Protein backbone atom coordinates (compact mmCIF):
# COMPACT_ATOMS: atom_id res chain seq x y z
CA UNK A 1 0.00 0.00 0.00
CA UNK A 2 0.98 3.57 -0.48
CA UNK A 3 1.36 6.21 2.20
CA UNK A 4 -1.16 5.15 4.86
CA UNK A 5 -1.66 8.67 6.25
CA UNK A 6 -3.15 9.72 2.86
CA UNK A 7 -6.26 7.64 2.34
CA UNK A 8 -9.87 8.22 1.43
CA UNK A 9 -12.12 5.92 3.43
CA UNK A 10 -15.89 5.35 3.37
CA UNK A 11 -17.19 3.10 6.15
CA UNK A 12 -20.67 1.66 6.53
CA UNK A 13 -20.45 2.07 10.31
CA UNK A 14 -20.10 5.85 9.89
CA UNK A 15 -23.72 5.96 8.82
CA UNK A 16 -26.32 6.66 11.54
CA UNK A 17 -28.70 4.22 9.82
CA UNK A 18 -26.30 1.33 10.61
CA UNK A 19 -26.43 2.12 14.33
CA UNK A 20 -30.21 2.64 14.30
CA UNK A 21 -30.74 -0.69 12.56
CA UNK A 22 -28.65 -2.42 15.26
CA UNK A 23 -30.73 -0.75 17.98
CA UNK A 24 -33.87 -1.83 16.11
CA UNK A 25 -32.64 -5.43 16.07
CA UNK A 26 -32.11 -5.35 19.84
CA UNK A 27 -35.55 -3.82 20.39
CA UNK A 28 -37.21 -6.39 18.12
CA UNK A 29 -35.39 -9.17 19.99
CA UNK A 30 -36.70 -7.93 23.34
CA UNK A 31 -40.19 -7.40 21.91
CA UNK A 32 -40.32 -10.98 20.63
CA UNK A 33 -39.48 -12.64 23.97
CA UNK A 34 -43.14 -13.44 24.79
CA UNK A 35 -43.29 -15.51 21.61
CA UNK A 36 -40.76 -18.00 22.92
CA UNK A 37 -41.62 -17.69 26.61
CA UNK A 38 -45.34 -18.26 25.99
CA UNK A 39 -47.08 -21.56 25.52
CA UNK A 40 -46.41 -24.12 22.81
CA UNK A 41 -48.83 -22.39 20.40
CA UNK A 42 -46.50 -19.36 20.26
CA UNK A 43 -43.23 -21.24 19.80
CA UNK A 44 -43.59 -21.51 16.02
CA UNK A 45 -43.99 -17.74 15.73
CA UNK A 46 -41.05 -17.23 18.08
CA UNK A 47 -38.79 -19.44 15.98
CA UNK A 48 -39.88 -17.62 12.83
CA UNK A 49 -39.40 -14.21 14.48
CA UNK A 50 -35.90 -14.97 15.71
CA UNK A 51 -34.91 -16.60 12.42
CA UNK A 52 -35.76 -13.35 10.63
CA UNK A 53 -33.87 -11.34 13.26
CA UNK A 54 -30.86 -13.64 12.88
CA UNK A 55 -30.88 -13.08 9.11
CA UNK A 56 -31.00 -9.30 9.61
CA UNK A 57 -28.26 -9.46 12.26
CA UNK A 58 -26.04 -11.49 9.93
CA UNK A 59 -26.08 -8.78 7.26
CA UNK A 60 -25.92 -5.97 9.83
CA UNK A 61 -22.85 -7.48 11.47
CA UNK A 62 -20.87 -7.44 8.19
CA UNK A 63 -20.58 -3.79 7.08
CA UNK A 64 -18.18 -2.88 4.31
CA UNK A 65 -15.65 -0.12 3.91
CA UNK A 66 -14.08 1.26 0.76
CA UNK A 67 -10.56 2.69 0.76
CA UNK A 68 -8.29 4.36 -1.74
CA UNK A 69 -4.59 4.63 -0.90
CA UNK A 70 -3.49 6.29 -4.12
CA UNK A 71 -2.51 3.02 -5.81
CA UNK A 72 -5.40 0.63 -5.06
CA UNK A 73 -9.12 0.63 -4.49
CA UNK A 74 -9.91 -1.69 -1.59
CA UNK A 75 -13.23 -3.07 -0.37
CA UNK A 76 -13.22 -4.80 3.01
CA UNK A 77 -15.96 -6.66 4.81
CA UNK A 78 -15.57 -6.35 8.56
CA UNK A 79 -17.19 -8.15 11.48
CA UNK A 80 -19.08 -5.42 13.42
CA UNK A 81 -16.86 -2.89 11.64
CA UNK A 82 -13.83 -4.04 13.67
CA UNK A 83 -12.17 -7.15 12.26
CA UNK A 84 -11.44 -7.56 8.55
CA UNK A 85 -12.87 -10.84 7.26
CA UNK A 86 -12.56 -10.37 3.50
CA UNK A 87 -10.77 -7.92 1.25
CA UNK A 88 -10.69 -7.22 -2.46
CA UNK A 89 -8.11 -4.88 -3.97
CA UNK A 90 -8.01 -3.45 -7.49
CA UNK A 91 -5.13 -1.40 -8.91
CA UNK A 92 -6.07 2.16 -9.87
CA UNK A 93 -4.40 1.83 -13.28
CA UNK A 94 -7.53 -0.06 -14.45
CA UNK A 95 -9.65 3.09 -13.98
CA UNK A 96 -9.76 6.37 -15.89
CA UNK A 97 -12.28 8.61 -14.12
CA UNK A 98 -14.54 9.22 -11.15
CA UNK A 99 -18.22 9.86 -11.83
CA UNK A 100 -21.26 10.84 -9.84
CA UNK A 101 -24.17 8.75 -11.10
CA UNK A 102 -27.77 9.29 -10.05
CA UNK A 103 -30.03 6.28 -9.78
CA UNK A 104 -33.81 6.67 -9.55
CA UNK A 105 -35.53 4.71 -6.77
CA UNK A 106 -39.18 3.74 -6.64
CA UNK A 107 -39.73 3.69 -2.87
CA UNK A 108 -37.34 6.31 -1.50
CA UNK A 109 -35.21 9.23 -2.60
CA UNK A 110 -32.98 8.82 -5.60
CA UNK A 111 -29.40 7.78 -4.89
CA UNK A 112 -26.14 9.39 -5.96
CA UNK A 113 -23.23 6.99 -6.38
CA UNK A 114 -19.54 7.88 -6.37
CA UNK A 115 -18.21 5.50 -9.04
CA UNK A 116 -14.66 4.85 -10.18
CA UNK A 117 -14.86 3.74 -13.82
CA UNK A 118 -12.85 2.79 -16.88
CA UNK A 119 -13.40 4.01 -20.46
CA UNK A 120 -13.86 0.79 -22.41
CA UNK A 121 -17.00 -1.29 -22.60
CA UNK A 122 -16.76 -4.00 -19.96
CA UNK A 123 -14.11 -2.09 -17.98
CA UNK A 124 -14.30 -2.58 -14.22
CA UNK A 125 -16.50 -0.27 -12.14
CA UNK A 126 -16.03 0.31 -8.44
CA UNK A 127 -18.88 1.73 -6.35
CA UNK A 128 -17.11 3.79 -3.70
CA UNK A 129 -20.08 5.36 -1.88
CA UNK A 130 -23.83 5.99 -2.07
CA UNK A 131 -25.72 9.01 -0.79
CA UNK A 132 -29.36 10.14 -0.95
CA UNK A 133 -29.94 12.58 -3.82
CA UNK A 134 -30.76 15.50 -1.54
CA UNK A 135 -28.84 18.79 -1.62
CA UNK A 136 -26.75 17.69 1.37
CA UNK A 137 -26.20 14.19 -0.08
CA UNK A 138 -25.10 15.52 -3.45
CA UNK A 139 -22.73 17.96 -1.74
CA UNK A 140 -21.22 15.13 0.33
CA UNK A 141 -20.86 12.96 -2.78
CA UNK A 142 -19.18 15.77 -4.71
CA UNK A 143 -16.76 16.47 -1.84
CA UNK A 144 -15.89 12.78 -1.57
CA UNK A 145 -15.42 12.55 -5.35
CA UNK A 146 -13.04 15.54 -5.28
CA UNK A 147 -11.01 14.08 -2.40
CA UNK A 148 -10.87 10.73 -4.18
CA UNK A 149 -9.88 12.39 -7.47
CA UNK A 150 -7.05 14.31 -5.79
CA UNK A 151 -5.64 11.16 -4.19
CA UNK A 152 -6.17 8.86 -7.18
CA UNK A 153 -5.07 11.48 -9.74
CA UNK A 154 -8.17 10.81 -11.83
CA UNK A 155 -10.57 13.38 -13.33
CA UNK A 156 -14.13 13.79 -12.11
CA UNK A 157 -16.49 13.50 -15.07
CA UNK A 158 -20.20 14.08 -15.25
CA UNK A 159 -22.24 10.92 -14.72
CA UNK A 160 -24.95 9.22 -16.70
* Alpha carbon separation from 51 to 18, 32, 91 (Å, rounded): 20, 11, 40
Residue 81 covered by a domain: yes
Same domain, 108 and 141: yes
- Same domain for 50 and 121? no
Indicate whether 37 and 74 sit together in one domain: yes
Higher per-residue pLDDT: 14 or 41: 14
The 10s digit of each residue's pLDDT in 65-122 is 999 998 899 999 999 888 889 999 999 888 999 999 888 777 767 889 999 998 777 7
Q: Are 29 and 73 within one domain?
A: yes
Instruction: Tell me which residue of 85, 131, 76 sits closest to 108, measured CA to CA.
Output: 131
Range name among 42-56, 79-93, 135-149 with the lowest pLDDT average: 42-56
Pair (81, 65) in one structural domain: yes
pLDDT reading at 1 higher than 60? no
Long-range contacts of 27-36 (CB under 8 A, 24+ apart): 28/53, 29/53
**Looking at the predicted structure, is the pLDDT value of residue 58 above 90?**
yes
Looking at the fold, whether 51 and 102 belong to one and the same domain comes out as no
Of the three residues 90, 114, 138, the one that is the final residue of a domain is 90
Amino acid sequence: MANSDRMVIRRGTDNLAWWLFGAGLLTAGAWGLPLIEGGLEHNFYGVFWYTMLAAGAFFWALPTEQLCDGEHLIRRTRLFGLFALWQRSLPLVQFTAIRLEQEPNLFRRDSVWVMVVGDEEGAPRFAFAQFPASKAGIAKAAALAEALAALARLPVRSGD
